[in-house]
Amino acid sequence: MEHKGTVTLETKRLILRRFTENDAKAMYRNWANDPVVTEYLTWQAHKTILSTKAVLADWIQNYARPDFYQWAIVHRLVHEPIGTISVVRRRDDILSAELGWCLGRLWWGKGIMPEAGEAVMQFLFGAVGMNRITACHDIANPKSGRVMQKLGMKQDGVLRANAQNNRGELVDMVYYSILAEDYKQAHAPLSAT
């Protein structure tokens, strides 16, 4: 495995890039201040843009680390961040990365997150050398699980009372994963017959 840091990734509709200080207004407006977006997350919606600026300052400082992965999801038609996708946990000893994401409500149901997730998985498996990519969701948020399924992940199981939501409640978490060999097999070029 060779950590590469948060490098720019591009898809047909999206540019995944590092955040900058100039992204604070878009982040706050597009998702960070929306309690509907953060309902099933571990952090509450930002009450002021100062909270958003503090989060961005931390991320920007961490970009100096080659093992830090935090992308702004920029739609090519919007030209500003509409969400984020990141590696929220890593286990280098077993070559494993856990993905987390958040997307502004206006862009739900348009295939944005699977498209971003696919680009990140391709990068983590191909360039970084991860062997396993995981993700999880609050059991009360099955829509996030459907994103994981679209990414080719398989459900590993449910861990009861395994996380605390942003209201301080213990919640069951559904875990998904995909291995590098499964990903490569699903994305192998078709052979001529």
Contact 2, 27 (CB under 8 A): no
Tell me which fold the domain 9-186 belongs to: Aminopeptidase (3.40.630)
pLDDT at 192: 47
Q: Could you tell me what percent of the chain has a pLDDT over 90?
A: 93
Q: Which amino acid is at 171?
A: V
pLDDT at 187: 84
pLDDT at 193: 46
Closest by Cα among 32, 37, 33, 39 to 138: 39
Domain ranges of the chain: 9-186
Average pLDDT, integer, range 8-31: 98
Q: Are strands 170-179 and 132-138 parallel, antiparallel or unpaired?
A: antiparallel
Mean pLDDT of the residues in the chain: 95
Average pLDDT, integer, range 163-190: 91
pTM above 0.75, yes or no: yes
Model confidence at 189, pLDDT cuts 50, 70, 90, reads low
Contact 139, 161 (CB under 8 A): no
